[in-house]
Structure 1
Amino acid sequence: MQNTAVFCDMDGTLLNSEHRISMRTRRAIAGLAGRGIPFAVVTSRGIAGTYPVLELGGVSCTAVTYGGGVILDEGRNVIFHDGFSRAKAQEVADFLGAECPNVAWIAYSFEDWVSPHRSDPRVRREERVVMAEARDGGVDSIERDEVQKLLCICDPEDTLEVERRLSERFPELTVVKSSDILIEVMPAGLSKAGAVRFLCDHWGVDPADALAFGDNYNDVPMLEVAGRSYLMGNAPDELLARMPLHAPGNDEDGVARVLEELGFVR
């Protein structure tokens, strides 16, 4: 059983509704480490928005950030990264400004994240959730010519239309809805599934022997590549109908309870 690995989304999965890691879940993660089973969080959050929550929960682990754009080992060393150019990111930003003016966006490059919309309450909320602050600025203020992601924050009634328009305008990019208000714009081919394959190869684990947990549409590729995958009980009904294995919700210690039931944690 030890020749496996566990991959876990953060928001809506590992974290409860208060965006915290419960004590029971902390113990489950520690139990995996005690048995030598690799554990990785696989999140669309950026680097700066991932570690404060892990540190508060007392968790040290491999972190897949930006939906696979940057992977850091347990010592926080970058072992993989990918992104698109500042010029491409500027194209997306210009399109949003002209065609979707009610969308607030944030651009991410490694630990730097910038937004010209910091006064927008939706951006302020995102900052509170991830326990980090964006920097005032546009794409042209990013130092490195590698942008991992643009996060589009929409009003709920606009999200599907914005996703459609972005997908049509930028077929060369990955555009995926990650919540009722969030759309991720990332390099083509970048996904949580690719991160799972990379880490399984890194650890010498067959993806068919891996476990994965997720709760939303951007988790589906990861859930499909892992041999045993659980959709959280708080996931959208459409996804729950599609996927056979379900875990209790994120406010019910769903990840920990499944790991306990499977005997991974004593």
Structure 2
Amino acid sequence: MTDTLSLDGGPAPSPALRLPDRVGWAAFSDFDETYLAHAATPEQRAHLAALEEYLLTEAVGHGLLFGWVTGSSAASVREKMARCGARVLPHFVAGALGTELTFFPDGVARPDPEWRQVLRDSGFARARVERAAERLARHGVDLFPQDTGHRTEFLVNYYFRSLGDPRRDEHALGLVRELAAEYGLGLNISRCNPATGDPADCYDVDFLPAVCGKRNVVRHLCARFGVDPERTLAFGDSGNDLEMLGAVRHGYLVANCTPEARDRFPRVSPHPHTQALLHAFRHHLGH
């Protein structure tokens, strides 16, 4: 094991995964409440340690490329790892809904310049997001900014508070979709998950470059490493993971997934959190 650096370049007591000489499998995992259980009970920490040991000892032999594709920023991921006892950094972190892509090829955090140029070329601008939000407010659809504590260049996060009627909610969110399309913006809308600290009566409304999002990160990395589509896995727990699960051959919701996600995706692991990942890896890749 070699010591690596934290996601933002500072020291962190984390062993690094070694990139396989030839990538044969690719696995993509949501971070919050999929890979990382925020409750961090002793049992959950033990299951996390078992998965980390598998990744450190088995991943290279199976040619596994593994990373997190998450709505959390890279800085937020680092903080949560320290708080919840995660030690091992994956090969890559696609943070802030894939608007940040960082690799750790030699134990050092290296933002990916190729992906960053793709986002710059998209023409995404916060001013366009703000104009769309102002127009929505004039139509009676009020979005309020999320205080994530981490401002990112290519992602703007809002909440939309439920109106208490599914039909009214869908009408309002339909207007959000229309305005996002008109302004050429990518969009993620999903029910908030209180387990991650979000309000229970709200939706996440995230604006990002149209070229981005979890599905596009999966496609970009599979093409980049030449991964056979039949040898891809993904794991998630909520509505904003469904496009990623649908972009791979073997997609799984973890057993602790949100009711919204369970209603919309058929394959649910009988295991929660890291147990689901470890079970799937052993089933598809071997012990």
TM-score range, shorter chain: 0.7 to 0.9
Displacement of 1:10 after TM fit? 1.1
Query: Closer, same or farther in 2 for the Cα pair 1:194/1:23, shift >3 Å?
Result: same
Query: Closer, same or farther in 2 for the Cα pair 1:51/1:160, shift >3 Å?
Result: farther
TM-score, structure 2 normalization:
0.68
- The residue number in structure 1 matching 2:234 is 212
- The residue number in structure 2 matching 1:176 is 188
Task: Tell me which moved more, 234-243 or 223-232.
Answer: 234-243
Query: Closer, same or farther in 2 for the Cα pair 1:154/1:30, shift >3 Å?
Result: farther
Displacement of 1:33 after TM fit? 3.5
User: Considering only CA atoms, is the larger Rg found in Structure 1 or Structure 2?
Assistant: 2
Unpaired runs of at least 5, structure 2: 1-21, 193-201
In the alignment, is the contact (CA less than 8 A) between 1:67 and 1:191 conserved in 2? yes
- The residue number in structure 2 matching 1:46 is 73
User: Does 2:159 correspond to 1:153?
Assistant: yes
Secondary structure in structure 1 of the residue aligned to 2:129: helix
Correspondence list, 1:80-229, <5 A: 80-81=115-116, 82=119, 84-95=124-135, 103-106=143-146, 123=147, 127=148, 133-134=149-150, 147-157=153-163, 160=170, 162-171=172-181, 172-180=184-192, 181=202, 182-229=204-251
Query: Closer, same or farther in 2 for the Cα pair 1:52/1:197, shift >3 Å?
Result: same
- The residue number in structure 2 matching 1:77 is 110
- The residue number in structure 2 matching 1:26 is 52
TM-score, structure 1 normalization:
0.72
Secondary structure in structure 1 of the residue aligned to 2:64: coil
State the alpha-carbon separation in 1 of the partners of residues 282 and 65 from structure 2: 16
Q: Deviations over 1:197-224 (max 9, x none)?
A: 1111222212331111112222222112
| Percent identity over paired residues | 22
Displacement of 1:252 after TM fit? 7.0
State the alpha-carbon separation in 2 of the partners of residues 8 and 49 from structure 1: 16
In the alignment, is the contact (CA less than 8 A) between 2:73 and 2:150 conserved in 1? no
Amino acid at match of 2:180: F
Unpaired runs of at least 5, structure 1: 107-122, 128-132, 136-141
In the alignment, is the contact (CA less than 8 A) between 1:208 and 1:225 conserved in 2? no
Task: Tell me which moved more, 196-205 or 240-249.
Answer: 240-249
Secondary structure in structure 1 of the residue aligned to 2:34: helix
Query: Closer, same or farther in 2 for the Cα pair 1:201/1:2, shift >3 Å?
Result: closer
State the alpha-carbon separation in 2 of the partners of residues 166 and 154 from structure 1: 10
In the alignment, is the contact (CA less than 8 A) between 1:17 and 1:250 conserved in 2? no
In the alignment, is the contact (CA less than 8 A) between 2:36 and 2:274 conserved in 1? no
Task: Tell me which moved more, 217-226 or 238-247.
Answer: 238-247
State the alpha-carbon separation in 2 of the partners of residues 28 and 233 from structure 1: 20
Q: Deviations over 1:162-209 (max 9, x none)?
A: 533321222122222233332211122422111111111222212331
Secondary structure in structure 2 of the residue aligned to 1:11: coil
- The residue number in structure 1 matching 2:32 is 11
Amino acid at match of 2:156: L
Q: What is the count of residue pairs matched by the alignment?
A: 231
Query: Closer, same or farther in 2 for the Cα pair 1:234/1:206, shift >3 Å?
Result: same
State the alpha-carbon separation in 1 of the partners of residues 39 and 132 from structure 2: 32
